[in-house]
Amino acid sequence: MSRESQAKRIAARAAYGGGGLVATSATAAALLWAEARYARRQVGEVTAVPFAVDATYLAPGVAGTPLRLAVLGDSAAAGLGADSATDTPAVLIAQGLADVSARPVRLINVSVVGAQTSDLDEQIDLVAAFDPDVVVIFVGANDVTHRVSPTNSVRHLAHAVRRLRELEAEVVVGTCPDLGTVKPLPQPLREIGRRWSRRLAAAQIITVVEGGGRAVSVGALLGPEFDQSPQDYFSSDRFHPSSLGYRRLAEILLPTVCAALGYGPEPDPELDPRRHEEVLPLSEAAVQAADAAGTELSGVVVDGYDRSSRGRWAALRHRIPMPLRRRSDDDLMVDDGAAAGPS
């Protein structure tokens, strides 16, 4: 079965019912479970408390009603491994969005270290009263290492996207990272993790786009950088990104967050080769994106139709990362008197 067929099958089962692992042997599942336990011992127990980042972020010349940004998900969303709150992806995206939009950005981050996709429903309960304009989600890695059925994982993600869209929030999902880049995972676990995480990422993309959100492939975003200078891009546990790694992640996500809210140049509906864009059937585009970190997918209409006989149309974009200025805690522009959070 091709990867495209697998991704479509997982997404379809999630939408219409059914469960179980797809094309996964019991031996492979047992191996992943045993070696994931070994890898967690190598990494060590996660005891760090995520940074408190809920606040209103400003930029020079900002004015107007604050935009509301909510961040959900797992340790990547929490910024575990960063040196300070200013280096977490939530704060980096909030500050970058304030710079681009020239509006204050109220941030609430309800992510939980170790969270799986099934935990998103509870996190959405916490942000519903916040009435977010845009929600950024990082999730999926813990589903893979805890052997969660891809179908069940994607079903929970579909439900989360649907709930958030009903709240009229824009949704941007950073997909499951490529676990084949994580050095504490021994072989053959690393290769199994690579296949499983990329398969889940492709199914996540299909589900997010079908639900009206935008997906950005995280994939092996830090793979080449880790190989060249692991001491810079990954934290001391060799599993979570460092401050520099999170900055790289935020620079990739920020253009999509801005575009979702109407800030920054949106591409012309016609294909523009200069922006490295394609329009493809969603399942085909999802598999390509899962292999190419930094790729954004969203739904698109072609000749008045949003789908063909091969399924929904998707725009596959490689947006230019937005460089983020490094700020110290003292330099960060925060309005503590207007702290974010449900009122």
111, 118, 143, 240: which is the annotated catalytic residue?
240
Query: What tokens does 263 get?
Result: 């800030």
Active site residue 229: no
Short-list 94, 109, 104, CA closest to 51: 109
Query: What tokens does 208 get?
Result: 């997010």
54, 74, 75, 118: which is the annotated catalytic residue?
75
B/e letters for 43-56, b = 16+ CB within 10 Å, e = fewer, are: beeeebebbebbbb
Cα distances (angstroms) measured from residue 262 to each of 65, 135, 149, 278: 15, 14, 36, 20
Residue type, 243: S
83, 84, 237, 335: which is the annotated catalytic residue?
237
Maximum Cα interatomic distance, the chain, rounded to a whole number of Å: 59
Task: Work out whether the CA dihedral 6, 197, 227, 82 comes out positive or negative.
Answer: positive
Residues 180, 169 contacting (CB under 8 angstroms): no
Query: What tokens does 312 get?
Result: 């929904």
Active site residue 318: no
Alpha helices in the chain (DSSP H): 3-16, 26-43, 75-78, 89-101, 120-127, 141-145, 150-166, 189-210, 223-228, 230-233, 243-260, 282-291
Active site residue 237: yes
Catalytic positions are 75, 237, 240
